[in-house]
Amino acid sequence: MEISCIPFSRVPQLSKTDVAYSGNDTALRPFFRYEVSLEAFAQVIEDKKKDPDHRAVLASALRTQYADLVQIPAVTAQLERLAQPHTFTVATAHQPCLFTGPLYYIYKAFSTIHLAGKLCEAYPDYHFVPVFVSGAEDHDFDEINKARLFNKTIEWQNEEGGAVGGMSTATLSPALSELQAILGTSDAAQEAFALIEKAYTSHSGYGAATIHLLHALLGRYGLVVVDSHVAELKRLFIPIMEKELLEQPSQALVQAAHDRLEAAGFSGQAFPREINLFYLRTGLRERIVLEDNLYKVLNTSFVFTRDEILAELRAHPEHFSPNVVMRPLYQETVLPNLAYIGGGGEIAYWLERMDQFAHFGVNFPMLIRRNSLWWIDEAGAKRMQKLGLSPEDLFEDTESLIKRYVAANTDQEISLAREKEQIQGAFAQILSKATALDPTLEKTVLGEQAKQLNALDVLEAKLLRAEKQRQDTSVQQIRSLKDKYFPGNGLQERHDNFLPLYIRHGQGFFELLRRELDPLKPGFVVVQEGA
């Protein structure tokens, strides 16, 4: 295998903010606290020590969560360490996607695992646990109900409402049957399916099933999965939720940061509400709003006075759920966390949170862009080599790439750029003569010039089309490569599920990810089989 790395700045599918943050753009410096480096963790550790210590509560909640799962020594050891004051976490988070969803779900986990191992080596007086926060409270079912593999899409059909983690796994039977049929009958495929089937059939709730699956897949690497929807952990967040309910500070703080980010030339992410909390019950997840001094739950009959909602919060904190604006605060409150590892979009909305964190007295973590990876199988690598294309070429838009390829591989002159220059030169002379006689002729001359240039554009397109037809075999091969690895000109990691690679390479796939996905070395990792 050949492994290379392409700078994020040369990946057009990434956002401006994503590239800027990864490239240490100084315009973003006011929006985060720590520079990304191994050395900077010394300061993060000292700063995090000043936050309240909730390790005992966290460890207790996790021991309960893991009680019914197969005991994996690497995880058992991590749970014991989490109760100790010298232990810190590095975390990532994601909604509980069907069968883990797109590849980047797995990449996030291994970026976190790699960083934790690196920190253990660099700071031997401490221990660092990789944590994956499973966002079971999320309500966007359309974001988590699909898995794409082998050019097929499996979709989970479910009519339940509320938080996705509370949905019943009973409705997953058709999706599991479809997965089994798609995977095939090889020993590796059947082993993978058995692991997944056990995770989803051993639990009645989808959130618990997802934790089981991640534990079975990645527990051997010491990854600890945290269920955010736990009353014991929510109780730690009561003081902040009280302030949000009574004072509503987040909206102004986040909106101001949002506006400053846009003024600096970047796209803002968050749209904060007056109250950034949801109310949760079985099958229900709705926003809390303040109207006429009453706290109302939208689309329900739930209405609370000030005293009533505070009483409800203190008695049942699990009935309250932070939205995207409050979720980072919740995570950093319950975890002894030093760094958050996320994708470009996630980093962008974290950049709007620093003032909010300061207001609530919670340390703002180091933000680290997760690794991205593109896996090219042997057939694809050979095809690219035969066409004379590099991996970086394939990131280009399909039609632009084909146009450039055809022009570079023809012995005919199909560009009319020189002729266009000649016409522009001739019309410049004509314009000078015409306006000297009558200034009102300018519009007429420029109109004629535009007609001539447009005619050449049409002719040039016809020449290109003719040459494309002559090179049709190569053109179709390029389209095939783009459709395979960049569906819709998007990234493989945002589309394909991990299972095809896992079935083909087994644990070797995971071992490569653990070795190569180092989030302190930003860039797009490219793996070429057979090279």
Instruction: Summarize pLDDT for 119-140 with one digit per residue, the tens.
Output: 999 999 999 999 999 998 887 8
Token digits of residue 141: 């079912």
Largest distance between two CA atoms of the chain: 93
Report pLDDT digits (tens) over 321-364: 999 999 999 999 999 999 999 999 999 999 999 999 999 999 99
Q: Are 5 and 524 in contact (CB under 8 A)?
A: yes
Burial of 131 (0-12, 13-18, 19+ CB in 10 A): buried
Q: Which residue has the tokens 């760094």?
A: 339
CA distances from 180 to 173, 189, 192, 505 (A): 11, 8, 9, 18
Residue 429 — pLDDT band, cuts 50, 70, 90?
confident
Residue 201 — pLDDT band, cuts 50, 70, 90?
very high
> In terms of Cα–Cα distance, which of 426, 305, 343 is closest to 95?
343
Q: Span 220-244, mean pLDDT?
A: 96
Residue 405 — pLDDT band, cuts 50, 70, 90?
confident
> In terms of Cα–Cα distance, which of 272, 274, 299, 271 is closest to 285?
299
Residue 426 — pLDDT band, cuts 50, 70, 90?
confident
Token digits of residue 238: 């009561």
* Residues of the chain above pLDDT 90, percent: 80
Least confident of 54-58, 93-97, 160-164: 160-164
How many angstroms separate the CA atoms of 364 and 331, rounded? Answer: 11
Least confident of 113-117, 194-198, 447-451: 447-451
Q: Are 331 and 288 in contact (CB under 8 A)?
A: no
How many angstroms separate the CA atoms of 189 and 499, rounded? Answer: 9
* Residues of the chain above pLDDT 70, percent: 96
In one-letter notation, the amino acid at residue 115 is L
Burial of 47 (0-12, 13-18, 19+ CB in 10 A): middle
Q: Are 337 and 331 in contact (CB under 8 A)?
A: yes
516-522-523 Cα angle (round to 5) = 80
pLDDT: which is higher, 425 or 347: 347
Residue 408 — pLDDT band, cuts 50, 70, 90?
confident
Q: Span 154-183, mean pLDDT?
A: 94
Residue 203 — pLDDT band, cuts 50, 70, 90?
very high
How many angstroms separate the CA atoms of 219 and 500, rounded? Answer: 20
How many angstroms separate the CA atoms of 464 and 228, rounded? Answer: 56
Q: Are 110 and 217 in contact (CB under 8 A)?
A: no
Return the beta strands (E) in 121-276 as ranges.
127-134, 146-149, 152-155, 224-227
Task: Tell me the sheet residues that pair with 91.
Answer: 131, 340
Report pLDDT digits (tens) over 460-479: 677 666 666 666 888 889 99
Enumerate residues 6+ apart whose C-beta is below 8 A from 398.
478, 479, 482, 486, 489
CA distances from 60 to 64, 83, 106, 502 (A): 6, 8, 26, 33
Q: Span 224-252, mean pLDDT?
A: 97
Q: Are 75 and 224 in contact (CB under 8 A)?
A: yes
- Residue-level pLDDT at 464: 64
